Structure 1
Amino acid sequence: MEIKIMKEGRKLKSIDPMNAVSAYIMPTRSGASNFFADSIDIEITENYIHEKRQQGLKGLGMMHIVLAAYVRAISQYPSVNRFIRGQKVYARNSIDMCLTIKKQLKLHAPETVIKIPATPTDTLEQVYKNTVSLIEENKREDTENGMDSVAKFLSFVPGVFLKFAVWILKVLDYFGLIPKSLVKVSPFHGSMFLTNMGSLGINAIYHHLYNFGNLPLFCSIGKKRNDYKVNPDGTVKKMRLMDLTVVCDERICDGHYYACAFKAWKKYIENPYLLDEPPEKVQIDI
């Protein structure tokens, strides 16, 4: 049987020298993590969600908005979709967003991870439909996706051999030799990982990055809340907010670029009407 190696990206050779050496100075993702938090004004977003649900997008929520807004931000700022492999910087060839779901909203219900593929030209409706389809498919009790099968198999391997097997996987990953079939289902490989803590009724958390794989960004969204703002004329305005936290790999691009990308991401979340049509132009990484 032929084992296909996944070409996840292309190595960048024209990057800034500081970016080129930073992966050697900070060899692990956990040691190169930056933490970011912001509050999102969701007044327009909630109105948008209400409108779209009436138009047939059943169950549309903040999670779908955040995912679609991230895809659009990548279309304009593709460098945030880079990754580190073998201490080199790569431009990713695809957009893959990871999401953990529970089969049922019960304390001891099993959970699984899905990977949502997207393209830079996707609209919010396309991201929504892809996400809903994958969630419905993987929530069925009789469904076992690729990651579930791999995890189940590894759980039967004795500890000492499992440790060796994981070491082998890390070596293969360092050189980009992980088989395509594993990369396709791995929650450790992708553009970003989203955890929706708001669906559990709690605030956003800071989730660590994984040293295995190549995920450069972990995002958490919290429960919606009310706040109050004093206007210049002395009047008080009630605001609807949602907190968002990000842990990101600082080695893939500089702080100014990250800031521009995060501002765009926030803009699209706060005004999802901008996501109804494909972007006028898609930017290509260097």
Structure 2
Amino acid sequence: MGKKRPDGVYIDNINPYTKIMPHIMPHRYDAMNWCKVEVSCDGIDRFIAEQHKLGKRYSYYNVVMAALVRTFAMRPSLNRFVMNRKIYQHNDITASFAVKKILKDNSEDTTVKVHFKGDETIDEVSKQMEEVIAANTGVKAYNSVDDTAKMLTNAPHFMIKLVVKLLNWLDHHNMLPASLIETSPFHNSFFITFMKSIHGDYLYHHCYDFGTTSMFIGMGREKETPVVENGEVKVGKVLTLGVVCDERFCDGLYYVNSMRLIKKLLMNPEQLLEPIDLAQYSSVNGIAKEGDKKRKLKKNKKDKKNKKDAKNVATDAETETQAAATTVIKDEE
């Protein structure tokens, strides 16, 4: 029931204002902010066409997912979550999204998770997406999420209510097993819904209070819309993302600059062809990894020992001085 979790590391050196925010807003739905990211499709269309000539096929979904993974890697403070009023840093970048097994109203859907380190290229991100989608489409495709949901919903309603309450309690007290966290689609860095795939518009989707989802992106279909370029109004194709995020661990400036980075990457997808050096990017406003914690504890113990030794030396010196003074007084007598 401590601060250690399988999916994240507790941040123990965050500033006081940020640290108190989860106590003021204990629920994720208390702290949701909405923003809209509009991006010209010219750069994406040009990039897809150029790569197609080279024998590589990328879609809008690949470009958007790669841009989001890159943004979370370059802006690591986004990759945080609040659990039981404590702020944690995710161990990796985990994306969840829903997959329709067959594109029909009455067909089943499922939710999948993909893990990233953050330095992946668009090619690596695309391959991971293709593999997980291929494994989870088709009438007979079932994964651990489907099996767990089926097993749980076969129980009476009162039992479902009790089990969900128990899981939530275990999660809040860092006792939820790693296997269940891995199965849960609600434990992730961000959740994305590809509304474009069903010809839908962007939307603002709430962040689930269960789990660790701290950002939800609703990707809509591109539209022909009036845009201003060089002081002139013309019709251009625009892609819109509806973003809902938890405000408790990042300030407004950090979020705004992160949205700008997403837009920059989507307008210049060529940057996603090369990997990045993760060592160049660090979180702001506190970060504590397990190794750092151990070193910190060891340093604190060493500092305490040094202070104790210094105090002992000072005490011995004071005793010797007092003894010498007593001797001098006796000699004078």
TM-score range (shorter-chain normalised) is over 0.9
Q: Give 2:212's match in structure 1, choosing from 211, 214, 218.
A: 214
Code of the aligned partner of 1:159: H
Equivalent position SS for 1:139: coil
- 1:102 is aligned to 100
Q: Tell whether the 8 Å contact from 2:11 to 2:89 is kept in structure 1 after alignment.
A: yes
Q: CA deviation at 1:264?
A: 0.8
The offset of 1:189, in angstroms, is 0.3
Residue number in structure 2 paired with 1:193: 191
* Aligned Cα root-mean-square deviation (Å): 1.6
Aligned residue identity for 1:239: G
Whole-angstrom CA distance in 2 between matches of 1:52 and 1:177: 46
8 Å Cα contact 2:222/2:239 also seen in 1: yes
Change (3 A) 1:238 1:185: same
Deviations 1:221-280 (A, max 9, x none): 1111112334456x5443221111101000121111111111111111111100000124
| CA shift for structure 1 position 50 | 2.3
Q: Which residue of 2 aligns with 1:250?
A: 247
C-alpha distance in 2 between matches for 1:229 and 1:169: 48
Q: Any gaps of 5 or more consecutive residues in structure 2?
A: 288-333
Match of 1:271 among 260, 268, 271: 268
Q: Which has the higher helix share?
A: 2
The one-letter amino acid of 1:61's match is S
Contact conserved, 2:40 with 2:237, CA < 8 A, in 1?
Answer: yes
Contact 2:41–2:267 (Cα < 8 Å) also in 1: yes
Aligned to 2:293: none
- Specify the SS of the correspondent of 2:208: coil
**2:183 aligned partner, one-letter code:** V
Superposed CA deviations along residues 139-197 of structure 1, whole A, max 9, x for unmatched, are 13222111111000011111111111111001001012111111112111001000011
Pairing of 1:1-286 with structure 2 (within 5 A): 7-58=6-57, 60-232=58-230, 235-282=232-279, 283-285=281-283, 286=287
Q: Specify the SS of the correspondent of 1:226.
A: strand
| Separation in 2, partners of 1:112, 1:240 | 31
Q: Verify the 8 A CA contact 2:223 2:237 in the aligned structure 1.
A: yes
Aligned equivalents of 2:206, 2:229: Cα separation in 1? 37
In the TM superposition, what whole-angstrom CA distance separates every residue of 1:59-108 from its partner, at most 9, and x where no partner exists?
x2211111111111112110000011111000111111001010111111
Instruction: Give yes or no for contact 2:102–2:138 (8 Å, CA) kept in 1.
Output: no
CA distance in 2, matches of 1:265, 1:176: 32
What secondary structure does 2:220 align onto?
strand
Instruction: Give the paired residue count.
Output: 280
Corresponding letter in the other structure for 2:37: D
The residue type equivalent to 2:34 in the other structure is: F
- C-alpha distance in 1 between matches for 2:66 and 2:214: 18
Cα distance per residue 1:6-26 (max 9 Å; x no partner): 611111111121111110111
Q: Which amino acid aligns with 2:163?
A: A
Runs of 4+ in 1 over 4 A off after TM superposition: 230-233
- Measured after TM superposition, the shift of residue 281 of structure 1 is 4.6
2:12 partner amino acid: K
The answer to whether the 8 Å contact 2:96/2:192 transfers is: yes
Amino acid at match of 1:66: V
Q: Is the 8 A contact 1:71 1:95 kept in 2?
A: yes
Query: 8 Å contact 1:147–1:186 — kept in the other structure?
Result: yes
| In structure 2, C-alpha distance between the alignment counterparts of 1:45 and 1:231, rounded to whole Å | 17
State the identity as a percent.
Answer: 32
Q: TM-score scaled by structure 1?
A: 0.93
Normalising by structure 2, report the TM-score: 0.81
